[in-house]
Amino acid sequence: MEDLKYRGKKREGRHRDTWDPFQLNPIGAEKEQKRRCFEVAQYLVAVIVGLAVLTSAVVAKGSLLVLSTLSSPTSMRSPKEKQFYLLMLVFCLVCPNFLVFLKSLWRIAFKSFVKPNMRTMLFICIIECLVSLGTSILVLVVMPQFDVLTNLFISGGVCIVSAILQIVFRLQRETWKIVFPVCSLILTLAGYCLLGVDYYVRVSSFVDRQSDDCFIYVGIGIFASLLVSLCWWENPLQATNRMQDKLSELDGFRDFVFVISSILRIMVIGGVYLFYHALIQQSIIWSDFKLLSDDWELLQIGLVLFFLQAFCSAACHWFGVVACKIHAVRMGFALPVCCTGPAVLLLGLILFITQAQELNGAKHGSITEFCESLVHLSHKNTTPVVLLEITRSICRTSLNSYYLQWPFSMLALEGVCMWSGFVTCTYYVWKIKVQRIERTSQLFVRRLYESAFIDLSLLLNTKMKVPRARNQESHDDIQNCVIYLCATMWHETYDEMLKILTSMFRLDRYRGDPKEEHKDCFDFECHIYVDDAFMTEEGTEKRLVNSYVTDLIHVVIEVYRVFTNKEPDDVSIIEAPYGGRLMFVMPEGNMLYVHLKDKGLIRNKKRWSQIMYLYYLLGWKGYIVKNPQKITRQNNPCRESLISMYGEIYLLPQYDNDNKRKFISDDNTYILALDGDTDFQPKAVILLVDRLRMYENVGAACGRIHPTGMGPMVWYQKFEYAVGHWLQKTAEHVFGSVLCSPGCFSLFRGSALMDDNVMKRYTTTASRAAEYVQYDQGEDRWLCTLLLQQGWRVEYNAASDAYTNSPQEFKEFYNQRRRWGPSTLANTLDLLHSGPETVKRNSSISRLYIFYQMFTVGSSILGPASVTLMIAGAFQFVFQMTGTMSIIVASIPPVFYIIVCFVAKSNNQITIAGIMSVLYAFLMTASFFSIIGDMVIQGTFLTPTGLFLVSMAIMYLVTAILHPEEFGMIIYGLMYFICIPSGYLLLTIYSLVNMHIVSWGTRESSKGGGEAKKNHNTLCDRSCKLCCWDMKIQITQETENLMLQQITGQIAQQAPPLPITKQEITEQAASKPEPQVRLDITKEEAEGGATKPPSDEKKGQVAKRTDVESSGSADSIEKDSISMGASDEDYEEDDDDRIRSLEETEELPVSDWVKPVKEEFLKKLTYANMKRNLQEQIRYTLRNKNEDDVCEELVLMLTDTLNGELSEVGPEDILTKSQLEELEDTLTEQARRILKTSHVEKLEKRVKVAIQKTLTAPQVQQLDEGEHDFWNKLLERYLKPIVETKAHQEDVSRELKSLRNRAVFLYFIINVLWVVATFFLQAIGSDVISIKIPKYYSNGTESGEFLKVEPLSLMFLLSFAVLLIVQFLAMLYHRIYTLIHVVSYRSTEKDYKQRKNHEDDDDDDNGLTVGNPVANGLYITSEDL
């Protein structure tokens, strides 16, 4: 209800000014807010992970203590039992080493192998052997000799070497924090001293007949702890920046080192076990390892404890990593790990106190009597073994002393010292700062964890992050990046354009002012490339923008109104060699460029638009930021790229990103490829950026694409897309690399696109049949193939959602898939063909992954035959046919449709496919219910068909549950099921037989065209007869004849030029009415200054004209000297001279399309729009909370002044130049009086700028000479419209037909062989060749009957089932890491708070301030001058 009232109030305000107050409000334009449910979920996940860390650590540590107690020589177990428990203890130490060995072996076998440096590897192996020696001595030799409490406390001493290194290298951020490692060292040494004193008291007090040899074990234990503490030597050293070369070298071949060191560690563990227990103690009796049937309890206890210890230690390590990644370092990691020791002690005491009465037969008098009575319980079967042995171990402490029991306090004090020692040693963990998403290698130094000391291992292994000098590269800090949003448009509707523009403006609002800091450390620009943007007007032959561009302009204005309640402030119209460009400053100051492509001057279609923006943004802009001296300088004393006003100098918005990019590498320059109808949230972009920031080898990342629309075709695609992303994309991401990053929403790394054999190869013009299919029919997949072949990885992020329109008509859907199908197959086969070379270059692609792709390609090739056999099964179920007859009947429709596709026209083929799809849908529906009925009749679903159907349904249901936001997609599963014959049989046939048609077949609208053309863009049109078939082939190319363009251009030159002032081609204003606004704002003539007929100069001649005093490049950085010590008066004089010089007019020719476009934006100067714009400009300029009263008074008084001055002007009338000048003077004078009355004269300059911005008309500009030359050369080299000879067209047509015939023949033969094999197996009979499967009822009982299945069908069914299970497991893995990423994003999500103006108003009249106040400290340096 509040929303309704708020919208009504805003509408009433608009209604006072115009009779047309109604506006669109696109979905998603409302301001984003943090959702409380997500905050609650975030804390809930953190608590759950923290509890998981604590629980798993307690269980792992407790299990190890119990095993050491059971294997103790003083245990009441038999020697056979002690020997078995000791072996389980050995397995606990071996397990983590074995897991690391397997993971490292997998990586060097299937990922990458780097030849190691032998000296470095030898050093690491020696350290690892010493650590393993210390661990095995401590756990296998010392701990069985001690009681359970001493074993719990003694492990705290393994932090001693880390504390010493921290003291030696002074790793503390603040000097006083050296107290922590010093205290740690003192406390640990005190703990060891108390340990020795405690055992001295035990020996002297004859506690539990303690012998003198315990001192030997105390000494060995201390020595072993020192050896174990060497394990984390690398952490302090990497924090000191010492040995950086060695450590970075080690990172390259760490996997190989882990393989060798893991084997050595296992050998050392086995050697210590055998040396001590077999040679010294001689306690191992090999025959006792043969367990008998009465040893079940022994086996059960030992194996349970081993599995608990091994599993929980691994789980604790994994949950600890997760806690750090979701930013729950304190609550989910440090606190639980630090509390592990006390929790184990507390849990043991609780169990001892509560379960003591379970020890039947024990005397419950004094502690000594209780301990003496335990000996008699060792042979009773009713006694819990674990509880008895732990109680017996506690009785070995000073508590069981007949003389003095107070020495037990020394044991407790020892525990406090040891625990405090390792907590103070790892104090830095509590203050560690984690980025949103970090690699495990950036969080932890070692991949290996020590299962015997899991809590200490996690804390000591956490990487120390210390501040580094600014000139040193640090991977711990987020790098700034620039994102170029590049949307390609091809005949989009108004609503579709509304989606993409709303998404861009949302991102602008999320990013905020580019001059201010943002926690995500990114800047962006928006570029829209409109294909087929011009038309030739009938009658006049003028070249004008078509209705698509007009719609786009209206959408930009409408979205700007929705987000700001005013018209676009800064609009520039620029002519370019490829057509034209519109430039906007978005509400927060980020830039939006609309590039209008004339297909007579530049190639159209998506791939060529991509090449256009890749060369422009990566090639040209990358060149000019690296070579600023190459840019043409201006003779003007003021730099064109700067705004000089009131002593403050700021870069204009369109130059700002170019200036920042000088400090940003190509690795941190990203291209976000978009379609003209994509709808996305800022979160989706940031999540993709995280993937590229996290891994340097990721060249591209794509999100979850959701098809939108209505109707059965959209329902089918919704489930198809869901299954494709849920299972196939995740499997590709987990097992190797995603093969296709869709062009509608994908983020590409600049350095990856600029790599060899990528961008250059991408510019290849198709000349052969296979190239037409691979290059132009699925350009996004081909680009990803090129990236993969160069060694880059492509990833998938399931939480990055984007929505795009999908085909709603059957014909459009078939034509889209006609392009995608052959292109997908061609690119996959290309990747498989280069498989061995790609495996060498790409660490993400292994031979196993190549085999997986071969299997999926084989399954897709056999898809038509599999569907045919499935339909044959449907005939069997529904019509009770025999197996052979059903196969024959099922094969007739596909053969019929193949013939239809060869002889009929494309539209007729699709019509027939539609009719057959409906018939197939009826059959599949009947088959579905028949299978269910058959299971009811059989009394079981445990048949191959029934089991497959039920398992598929369960798997998809579980998958949907794991995607809660997309659970509704499961509803469309039935639609998908009944359309399987259409999608996998008819569509495959249609796409293969029509492979020779290389036109897009979608959005082929003539809405934007001017004059109708017969056979538009037809390059080859041939009819031929083959036997009795009439065949028609047509090849089209989306270009026009260049000759026609030249002729029309020469005719159009007769018109005189349109006069415009030089003022119109000056630089654009800054985005906000703050002090950083240009001074050269002058009044525009409302009618655009047009008094003569417009001209239509030939595009090449127009573009070549440059003016020395014009604005310069809209996309480059001008370099000119600035006198740093100049006073405000000097700058004001320069600006006044500049304004006077700009008022001179010069005749400059402009194209015909400029004037109508400019008139669209001149509507800003109507009375109704001007009133609203003035109010919003004033509010925005004075948005500081301290100026609210003055702001509202200004708005009220200036609005009254405007109403009085324009009382005789209609609400839709555009003001003339004289009216604007008079109005500006009046408003400025009124504002001066108000501010003087309010004693805030310092705001006068700001308010004046706001008034000037309100009255500024759109500007017409020209490109500078450098950029103009770039576009001419780019067009000449790569993007000149293709004009093919008739002979070449005939050759291509012939090649395409030949390729089509070969592909159809290959597909046909493979599928026919599969069907024929199945047919003959059916014909021979199930009694001769079949696999007999016992039939079971649903309750699990055997029926005594057998189900006979032919081996071929069973093999294919099992293969498909295995493929689905593999994909399902990959999905589970991917879901977990997606959840981690989403939770970490929510914890750092931007909080939309009311803006505050951080600028001090008193600074307005201070001296010259140079530079942009941006996060990374970009300032104008001597290099810029």
pLDDT interval class at 941 (50, 70, 90):
low
- What are the tokens at 585? 């400053």
pLDDT given for residue 1396 in this prediction: 43
What is the DSSP code (8-state) at residue 499?
A: H
Q: Provide the pLDDT for residue 1047.
A: 38
Q: Which residue has the tokens 């009433």?
A: 12
Cα distance between residue 1394 and residue 575, in whole Å: 39
Single-letter amino acid, residue 536: T
Query: How much is the average pLDDT of 248-272?
Result: 88
Cβ neighbours around 1204 below 10 Å, total: 10
Largest CA distance in the chain: 121
Cα separation, 344 vs 176, whole angstroms: 33
Amino acid at 766: A
H or E element at residue 251: helix 244-252
The answer to whether the CB of 1355 falls within 8 A of the CB of 1330 is no
pLDDT grade, residue 90 (50/70/90)? very high
Mean of the per-residue pLDDT values of the chain: 78
380: its two tokens: 């009773």
- Residue 1412 reports pLDDT greater than 50: no
Whether 1030 and 903 have beta carbons less than 8 Å apart is answered as: yes
Alpha carbon distances (Å) from 1051 to 557, 1042, 1044, 1045: 34, 14, 11, 10
What pLDDT score does 1329 carry?
65
- Under a CB-based contact definition with an 8 Å cutoff, are residues 482 and 660 in contact? yes
Asked if residue 1010 lies in contact with residue 537, where contact means CB atoms within 8 angstroms, the answer is yes
Range in 88-102, 361-375, 1310-1324 the model is least confident about? 361-375
Burial class (CB in 10 A: 0-12, 13-18, 19+), 206: exposed
Q: Which of 360-369, 431-440, 572-581, 840-849 has the lowest mean pLDDT?
A: 360-369
Taking phi first (over 0 means left), then psi (-120 to 50 degrees means alpha), and beta for anything else, what does residue 516 get? Answer: beta
Which residues have a Cβ under 8 Å from the Cβ of 1207 and sit 6 or more positions away?
A: none
Q: Which residues make Cβ contacts (< 8 Å) with residue 1183, sequence separation at least 6?
A: 1191, 1395, 1397
Alpha carbon distance 939, 941 (integer Å): 7
**How does pLDDT run across 1323-1379, given as a tens digit for each residue?**
776 666 666 666 666 666 666 666 666 666 777 778 888 888 999 999 999 999 998
At 266 the pLDDT is 94
Q: Residue 729 in contact with residue 714, Cβ under 8 Å?
A: no
Please, which pLDDT band fits residue 33 given cuts at 50, 70 and 90? low
For residues 511-526, give the mean pLDDT: 85
Q: Taking residues 370-395, report their average pLDDT.
A: 68
- CA geometry: angle 981, 982, 987, nearest 5 deg: 120
Exposed/middle/buried for residue 1076 (C-beta within 10 Å: 0-12, 13-18, 19+):
buried
DSSP state of 359: S
Q: Which structure tokens are listed for 699? A: 């060249």
More confident residue, 45 or 208: 45
Residues 1062/1259, Cβ–Cβ less than 8 Å: no
Question: What Å distances lie between residue 847 and 424, 736, 842, 843, 1091, CA to CA?
Answer: 48, 10, 11, 11, 71
CB atoms within 10 A of CB 115: 8
pLDDT tens profile 458-479: 999 888 865 443 334 444 567 8
Average pLDDT over residues 1198-1203: 83
* Helix/strand/coil percent split, the chain, to 5: 60, 10, 30
Terminal-to-terminal C-alpha distance of the chain? 57
Q: What is the pLDDT of residue 826?
A: 92
Pairing of β 745-749 and β 698-708? antiparallel
In 10 A of CB 463, how many CB atoms? Answer: 21
Highest mean pLDDT among 231-240, 278-287, 916-925, 1189-1198: 916-925
Q: Give the span between the Cα atoms of 803 and 495, in whole angstroms.
A: 13
For 962, 1108, 1129, 1130, 1243, the CA distances from 1133, given in Å and listed in that order, are 68, 21, 6, 5, 21
> 709 near 760, Cβ under 8 Å?
no
pLDDT digits (tens, 9 = 90+) for 1037-1052: 444 444 434 434 443 4
pLDDT at 999 over 80: no
Please state the rounded mean pLDDT for residues 1137-1151. Answer: 50
Q: How far apart are CA 490 and CA 715, in angstroms?
A: 24
Q: Residue 325 is encoded by which pair of tokens?
A: 């990644």
State the sign of the Cα–Cα–Cα–Cα dihedral 611, 617, 623, 626. negative
Specify the pLDDT at position 1231. 86
Is the pLDDT at 156 greater than 60, yes or no? yes
Cα distances (Å, whole numbers) of residue 354 to 68, 320, 347, 351, 945: 23, 31, 11, 5, 55
- Distance CA(332)–CA(326), nearest Å, equals 9
Indicate the range of 29-33, 802-806, 910-914 predicted with least confidence: 29-33
Cα 117 from Cα 254, distance rounded (Å): 10
Tokens for 1000? 């897009």
Name the strand (E) or helix (H) holding 1418.
none
- DSSP labels for 750-818? HHHHTSTTTHHHHTPPP-SHHHIIIIIS-HHHHHHHHHHHTT-EEEEEEEEEEEEE---SHHHHHHHHH
3-state secondary structure of 483: strand
Contacts of 797 (CB under 8 A, 6+ apart): 687, 688, 690, 691, 701, 702, 703, 704, 1378, 1381
Average pLDDT, stretch 710-714? 91
Q: Which of 997, 1155, 1177, 1187 is CA-nearest to residue 1085? A: 1155
**Considering only CA atoms, which of 1249, 1087, 1061 is closest in space to residue 1166?**
1087
Query: Are 1109 and 1023 contacting, i.e. CB atoms less than 8 angstroms apart?
Result: no
Which pLDDT belongs to residue 521?
86
The average pLDDT across 896-900 equals 94
Question: What per-residue confidence (pLDDT) applies to 1366?
Answer: 92
- pLDDT interval class at 1106 (50, 70, 90): very low
Cβ–Cβ under 8 Å, residues 960 and 718: no
964: number of Cβ within 10 Å: 8
Share of the chain above pLDDT 70, in %: 74
CA gap 921, 975 in Å, rounded: 9
Confidence grade of residue 700 (pLDDT, cut at 50, 70, 90): very high
Predicted confidence at residue 1054, as pLDDT, reads 39
Q: What is the rounded CA–CA span in Å between residue 125 and residue 728?
A: 41
- Token digits of residue 103: 């993971």
- In the chain, the amino acid numbered 657 is N
pLDDT at 1246: 81
pLDDT at 36 > cutoff 80: no
For residue range 303-335, what is the model confidence (pLDDT) as tens digits?
899 999 999 999 999 999 999 888 888 888 999
pLDDT digits 0-9 by tens, 640-676: 444 434 434 445 666 666 777 788 888 999 999 999 9
User: Could you give the CA distance from residue 1111 to residue 1067 in angstroms, rounded to a whole number?
Assistant: 5
Residue 1032 pairs in a beta bridge with 1023
| Backbone angle region of 907, left / alpha / beta, with phi > 0 → left and psi within -120 to 50 → alpha | alpha
- What pLDDT shows up at residue 654? 64
